[in-house]
């Protein structure tokens, strides 16, 4: 929207801070983060520089979170989740959920109802940078994970369709407050073609073991057995 008075701008900044659940020590940082180039007196007074910084902070925070949350995912799987979580579409959608479009400082010809998605996505990144500059890395990472956390869970559930270890890790931590332990209970075959039998332990619970041509395959199958048993179903892989 176009801001016609200092009083209106201050009111919008206050409302925006309530939506963000973060109150700035230096409110001018938020003002800059909400200022599109079309509404800025000079390019350096717009949020374009903050977009650059916020994009990097967002990417780093999500990468670190995924690395910690999904210890069994390979690089390609982590990259796929990260790309979707930090995408322009996601940032745009989360910006709408926060109502950032109501507080943008725009030039003539632009209105919140007719914004290109990129403008709100860039503003989301700029707000992240503003919070970082105002409160530091710990504060901004808490904000990012609060806002983007549900998206991480949703995207990872769709991505993890065949990664039973990752799914079991999430469920066991959430419901049993422990991580699964994978135990090789026996092997068979020659060194060049060895098979592995693995079972999953979670605290005092032991689940049906499974064979695999590799240790990784056996662990995935054992995890699938555990998921089935936790759901009250027959494990798909027998002795």
3-state secondary structure of 162: helix
125 catalytic per annotation: yes
3 vs 20, 23, 69, 120, 194, CA distance in Å? 20, 21, 43, 17, 71
CB atoms under 10 Å from CB of 79, counted, come to: 13
What's the CA gap between 43 and 183, in Å, rounded?
59
Distance (Å, whole) CA 18 – CA 23: 7
Residues paired with 184 in a beta bridge:
198
Q: Which listed residue (55, 72, 77, 219) is catalytic?
A: 55
Residue with tokens 């956390």: 149
Out of 51, 72, 77, 125, the active site residue is 125
Whether 93 is a known active-site residue: answer no
Max CA distance (Å), the chain: 80
Q: How far apart are CA 68 and CA 114, in angstroms?
A: 39
Return contacts of 93-99, CB within 8 angstroms, 24+ apart. 94/124, 94/147, 94/148, 94/151, 95/120, 95/121, 95/123, 95/124, 96/120, 98/19, 98/20, 98/124, 98/147, 99/16, 99/19
Residues with a known catalytic role: 55, 125
């Amino acid at each position: 929207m176009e801001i016609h008075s200092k009083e209106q701008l201050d009111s919008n900044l206050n409302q925006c801070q309530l939506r963000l659940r973060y109150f700035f020590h230096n409110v001018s940082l938020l003002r800059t983060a909400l200022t599109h180039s079309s509404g800025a007196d000079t390019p350096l007074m717009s949020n374009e520089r903050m977009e650059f910084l916020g994009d990097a902070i967002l990417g780093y925070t999500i990468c670190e979170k995924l690395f910690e949350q999904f210890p069994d995912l390979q690089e390609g799987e982590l990259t796929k989740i990260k790309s979707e979580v930090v995408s322009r579409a996601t940032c745009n959608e989360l910006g709408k959920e926060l109502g950032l479009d109501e507080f943008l400082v725009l030039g003539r010809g632009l209105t919140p109802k007719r914004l290109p998605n990129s403008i709100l996505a860039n503003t989301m990144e700029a707000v992240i940078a503003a919070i970082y500059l105002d409160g530091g890395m710990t504060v901004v990472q808490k904000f990012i994970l609060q806002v983007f956390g549900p998206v991480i869970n949703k995207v990872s559930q769709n991505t993890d369709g065949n990664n039973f270890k990752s799914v079991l890790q999430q469920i066991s931590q959430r419901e049993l407050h422990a991580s699964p332990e994978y135990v090789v209970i026996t092997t068979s075959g020659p060194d060049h073609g060895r098979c592995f039998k693995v079972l999953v332990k979670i605290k005092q619970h032991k689940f049906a073991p499974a064979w695999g041509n590799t240790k990784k395959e056996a662990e995935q199958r054992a995890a699938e057995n555990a998921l089935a048993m936790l759901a009250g179903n027959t494990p798909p892989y027998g002795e």
